[in-house]
Amino acid sequence: MTVIENNIKQLKNDLLQMWSLVIYQMEKARFALINGDHNVAREVLVNEKRVDAFELKIDLDSENVLLLNNPVAIDLRFVLSVLKINYNIERIGDYANAIAKVAEHASGPMPESILQSTHLPEMFFIAQTMLQESYNAFEKSDRNHLNILFSMDEKLDKPNNNANNTICNLIRENPENTLILLDALSIMRKLERTGDHILNVAEELIFYFDANVVKHSKLQNDNL
């Protein structure tokens, strides 16, 4: 195995480890919020430092590969994609951390009535599925795992598009829940942004797989 092959293999392994950790972080943040588990919330907060450390290492190693190995063709596309994917996955880790902070300071589980009215469990499920499918696409170098992401993001957008009206109506009906409802609104926004970052990742994977730049274009399933 050549030096550049070794370096690229290590980059992929590091990014997969970080990605797997962020998947874990999002699931633990969801669990902590729904169950009011402060210990699990604090676990997420502690692990955030590991996510940040991965991001810094991957950035530095990617830059070194570009400077020292002079990659071309698919190797160059891989390294450029890793740099951008790394940023997007770290941002999703930030959202998981922010959700865990809400759970840590909550007096208990988020009320079931609010969870159902805001569709938060459904939004978590969609965002987490998108995160796992994008991981699978990268791990297996299989673009078929990308097909589901764009339609799923549209489903994630729907409750978010109605979020302001939903929260305002719930506050009018139950003003004593105002702070909890504002937390729910913030989490809805973060889950919607998680979907946006995963679509950014999908764009980078399409670039890596196919040398096709689709950024800023209107993506549809048939483009895949």
Q: Taking 50 as the threshold, does the pLDDT of residue 220 lie above it? A: no
Predicted confidence band of residue 217 (pLDDT cuts 50, 70, 90): low
Domains of the chain with CATH codes: 3-223 (1.20.58.220)
Number of helices (H), then strands (E), belonging to the chain: the values are 8, 0
CA distance 166 to 120: 12
8-46 pLDDT tens trace: 999 999 999 999 999 999 999 999 999 999 999 999 999
**pLDDT on residue 213:** 86
* pTM of the predicted model as reported, rounded to 2 decimal places: 0.94
31-86 pLDDT tens trace: 999 999 999 999 999 999 999 999 999 999 999 999 999 999 999 999 999 999 99
CB burial class (10 A; 0-12, 13-18, 19+) of residue 125? middle
